[in-house]
Amino acid sequence: MPTRRTFIGAASGLMLPGFSSAFAADDPASKGVTRVSADLVLHHGLFTTLDRTNPTASAVAIRNGKFLAVGNDNEIMAHAGPNTRVIDLKGRRVLPGLIDNHLHIIRGGLNFNMELRWDGVRSLADAMSMLKRQVAITPPPQWVRVVGGFTEHQFAEKRLPTIDELNAVAPDTPVFLLHLYDRAILNGAALRAVGYTKDTPNPPGGEILRDANGNPTGLLLAKPNAGILYATLAKGPKLPFEYQVNSTRHFMRELNRLGVTGAIDAGGGFQNYPEDYAVIQKLSDEGQLTIRLAYNLFTQKPKQEKEDFLNWTQTSKYKQGDDYFRHNGAGEMLVFSAADFEDFRQPRPDMPPEMEGELEGVVRILAQNRWPWRLHSTYDETISRSLDVFERVNQDIPLQGLNWFFDHAETISDQSIDRIAALGGGIAVQHRMAYQGEYFVERYGLGAAEATPPVKKILDKGVKVSAGTDATRVASYNPWVSLSWLITGKTVGGSRLYPQRNCLDRETALRMWTENVTWFSNEEGKKGRIAVGQLADLIVPSRDFFSCSEDEISHLTSDLTVVGGKMVYGAGDFSALDENVPPPAMPDWSPVRTFKGYAAWGEPEGAGKNSLRRTAINLCGCANSCGVHGHDHATAWSSKLPISDLKSFWGALGCACWAV
C-alpha cells in the first residue's frame, strides 16, 4: 500500500527543482550559466536520497565517480553534454547503495566458487537434489562444501539432512556441511579425507560425536566455539591463486546483484595478514573491485595477540588505501579470551579471569596508535567486562574520536549502552537472530527475545548503530534478509521475534544499511546518501522497497547497481547496461556455474523455483495456480496500477496476474 512517503516521493519529480544541485536551478539558456557536463545522467526515476535537505529527486548527474547534481529532470538534463551517457529509469525507485557493516568478504571470496549455497532454498528435497547433482560433477579429490546461511527452519521439512542421507547421495565424494556456528555434518568420505578415527581426541571447545563403538559418526559440534568446524573445513583442498581471483570476482558480482556496493570486512579465523589479502589487493591494484571495502585486522594466534598488533601498528597505517580498499583498524577479534561465541544452542560461556588483563594490553596498543577497533561480543556479561577495560584505558588515553565499536551485542543492557555512549563508541548489529532466533527462544524464552538485540532502544538513545550480515558462514550475505528482519521482526523461518514497537520503519532500516555504516569506517559524508559530492553508489531494486509488501522485502534484488558511476550489475530492463560481466566461474565444476548464489537463482525453473516464487504464491488469493504468468506478482505489485494497493477494490480481488 502506498505510504505518505511514497506519495510525496512520486510527486516530487513533478515539483520544484532539487535543492542540492551543484549549480543554480535556473534555466542556463536564459541566464547564460555554463553547466559542467556529466559523465552519466540517470533521469525519470524516484530517488530516495536519504539527504534530509533534499529527500527526493527524479534525476542525478555523475562526474568523476561522484554525484555532481541531484534534482529534477529539467535541472539535471542540463548537465547532459555531447559525451554524456543518459539513462531513462522509467519511473523506478532508486536507493543509495547498501553497505554491509560486517561481512567476511575476503575469506568468503577465496572460497565462494567451491561452495554450494543453500541460502534461501525453501525445501530440503530441493537442497538435496542440488547436492546430488553437484556430487555428480565434482572430481576427486575435491569436496562438496555446503557453507553459509541456512537453517532447518527455512525448509518446508523443518529439518537438516541425516548422515545416512548424505552417504546415500555421496558415497565416495567428501561432503562437508557447515550449519551456522553450531555444527558440521560430514559424510563417510569426508571423515576419511580429514582422517578422523576412533583415536582422534576431541579438541578444546569442540566435540566429535561417536557411536557405541567410539567411531566418529560424522557430526561435529561447537562446544562452545567453532574452532573444530573451521579447522576441519581448512583441511579441504584450496583453489589456486588464479581461481581465487575469479572466485572473489564472482562473490562481488553476487553481492552487486543484491544491491551491495560497500562493506567492512571483519577479518576472520584462518585469514592471515597479509598473505590471504593478496587476492583482494591484486583486484584493487587492477581496478576490478566492485565493492568498496574497508578491512579490519583479526589477530591470528592465542596468547600472541599483543605481538600481532605491535607488529601491525608498525607496518600498517590506519586508513591506508583508497575509496575502494582501505585499512579500518583492528578486530573483530582482539584477544581470544574475550570472544563469547554466538551459538545459542549452547549455554552462555563465561570469559576466563585473565581476559581483562589480556584485552587491556591490546587496547592500550591500539589507543596509543589511534587505531579504532571492533570487538565481537554477544552477551552483556562480556560487554560489561570489556567496558571495565575500556574505561580504565580511557583514564589515561581518551577514546573519544576513535570510532571503536562492539559487534553483535544481542543481549546488551541499557546500562552498557549508556557506558558505550559515554566513551564515544558504537554498536554494529547483524542479522544472526534471523537464523538463530528459534534457538534463542528455546533456551531463553520469547520474552527475552523481544529485544535481542535492542536496536530500537539503541537508536532512541542516540548511540551510533548500523547493520550487516556476518556472512559468509554464520548467516547469509543477503542484505534484504537483514532489512526484512529489522522491519518485520521475523526469522527466515517465519517466526515473529519482536513486537511492532521494537521493529523499524523502512526508512530507518535503510539508513542502518547506508549512511549509518559510514561512521564505522570513518567515511561520514563520503558515501551512504545520494547527495552532491558523495561517491556515486546507487541501486535500482527489483521492486519498490517502500511500496512492496513486507513479505516481499527479503526477495528483493537489484536490477541496476552503480558503483562510482560505473554500472557493475544490470538485469531486466537494464541488462544491456552491465559493464562488469566476469569470466565463467572457475573451476568448470564450480557450483556457481549452475546455481549461482542465494536461493539457487541460476536455476529459476529448477532448484530455485520454489525459493524465488514462494512468497508470491503464498500470498495469492487464487484458488489454483495461475497458468498465465506463473504468479508473477512482483511486477504487478510494484506497478503503478491499482493492484499495488492491496486494500483497494482491485487488490482485494486476489490474483494480480492480470496486471503483469
pLDDT digits (tens, 9 = 90+) for 623-655: 444 444 444 454 454 444 554 454 554 444 554
Sequence-separated (6 or more) residues with CB below 8 Å from residue 61: 38, 40, 41, 67, 68, 69, 70, 76, 79, 80
Task: Using DSSP, state whether 307 is helix, strand or coil.
Answer: helix
How far is CA 298 from each of CA 305, 379, 384, 515, 544, rounded to the nearest angstrom? 9, 20, 22, 25, 38
pLDDT, tens digit, for every residue of 233-245?
999 999 999 999 9
| pLDDT score at 642 | 52
d(CA 460, CA 9): 26
* Other beta carbons less than 10 A from residue 463's beta carbon: 18
Q: How far is CA 469 from the centre of its chain?
A: 4
pLDDT, tens digit, for every residue of 449-476?
999 999 999 999 999 999 999 999 889 9
d(CA 391, CA 596): 47
pLDDT reading at 658 higher than 60: no
pTM: 0.90
Average model confidence (pLDDT) across the chain: 90
At residue 268 the predicted structure's pLDDT band, cuts being 50, 70 and 90, is confident
Q: How many residues does the chain have?
A: 660
pLDDT reading at 7 higher than 60: no
Percent of the chain with pLDDT over 70: 88
| pLDDT score at 13 | 39
Residue 430's DSSP bridge partners are 468
Percent of the chain with pLDDT over 90: 82
d(CA 519, CA 373): 13
Task: Using DSSP, state whether 558 is helix, strand or coil.
Answer: strand
CA angle 589, 590, 595 (to 5 degrees): 115
pLDDT reading at 218 higher than 50: yes
| pLDDT score at 33 | 55
Span 300-327, average pLDDT: 95
Residue 103's DSSP bridge partners are 265, 471
In contact, 428 and 263? CB cutoff 8 Å: no
pLDDT, tens digit, for every residue of 484-537?
999 999 999 999 999 999 999 999 999 999 999 999 999 999 999 999 999 999
How far is CA 307 from each of CA 65, 89, 244, 295, 302, rounded to the nearest angstrom? 40, 53, 29, 19, 10
| pLDDT score at 4 | 39
What burial class does residue 28 get, using C-beta atoms within 10 Å of its C-beta: 0-12 exposed, 13-18 middle, 19+ buried?
middle
d(CA 236, CA 136): 18
* Other beta carbons less than 10 A from residue 488's beta carbon: 21
Span 429-438, average pLDDT: 97
d(CA 612, CA 149): 16
